[in-house]
Amino acid sequence: MEFHIYITYFLALFIGISLGLTGGGGSILTVPVLVYAARIEPVVATAYSLFIVGLTSLVGAGNYIKKGMVNIRMAIIFAIPAFITVWLMRKFVIHAMPDHLFSIGSFVITKDLFLMLFFALIMLISGFKMVYGTEKQFQEGKDIKYSLVLFNGIIVGILSGLVGAGGGFLIVPALVFFMRLPIHKAVGTSLLIIAINSLIGFTGDILNLPNINWSFLLIFSAISSIGIFFGIYLNQFLNSEKLKKVFGYFVLIMAILIIFEELL
């Protein structure tokens, strides 16, 4: 086994820990790890990321369900428009995109470059939200805004389909503001939504990716699933707000590094 694979598996543990600590934010790291550590090309990396994030989030969601911290009904309502959209994106859009999208003078924008730059943009937004975002509390189940839930679900589906991330930075605020869930339930419910979206979205890739490395996927997912239990355990002893800000700064730095790596 090559050395970079050992590094990749170590980072899988870190991704799981960050998922357990932040309730979904850690999924944003999966694609960069797959592209730069495991050396997997971006389109395949976004597909693999959906499987890994989906399976790991499902493990985390199961832990929250046992504690009664998941609103399953709200998760299903939100997930339906999201998983339909992400499946359509993976099945019909991503693999149909041409390798060369357009040119700016002599500078060629390829599909891989576009996906990584777009992913870096999502990381910047996610990191900014972690650093500067504030959480509000509402009375659970009151004044639910279903039209906004539908719209947000579609947006999450499009983004998840493009970049292979769970979209937790959009899902948690939507659950709090539009579906009136308290923040502790929004985190657990978000993990269940991410699991549903990602795993169903991945099925859209299966026919388009005939040589899926299942052994790598299962090992990576198993390690990150172990990590999520560590993260949930550590969360009891750490200040979650300070932790989210520190992780947000890390995501911002990673996004800037990806932009420099891809452009320079």
Residue-wise pLDDT for 214-233, tens only, equals 999 999 999 999 998 888 78
Query: Which residue from 116, 137, 109, 110 is spatially nearest to 45, judged by alpha carbons?
Result: 116
Q: What is the pLDDT of residue 9?
A: 94
- Name the percent of the chain lying above pLDDT 70: 93
Q: Are the beta carbons of 120 and 192 closer than 8 angstroms?
A: no
Q: Is the pLDDT of residue 255 over 70?
A: yes
Beta strand pairing status for 107-110 and 100-104?
antiparallel
Q: Tell me, what's the pLDDT at 48?
A: 94
Give the distance between the most distant pair of CA atoms in the chain: 57
Question: What gap in Å lies between CA 250 and CA 255, rounded to an integer?
Answer: 9
Residues 230-241: tens digit of each pLDDT? 887 887 787 767
Tens of pLDDT, residues 142-170: 567 778 888 888 988 898 888 877 677 67
Average pLDDT, the chain: 85
pLDDT at residue 208, rounded to an integer: 86
pLDDT of residue 167: 72
Residue 137: which pLDDT band, with cuts at 50, 70 and 90? low
Using the predicted structure, report yes or no on whether residue 202 has a pLDDT greater than 90. Answer: yes
Structurally, how many domains does the chain consist of? 1
Range of 248's domain? Answer: 3-263
Q: Is the CB of residue 140 less than 8 Å from the CB of residue 185? A: yes
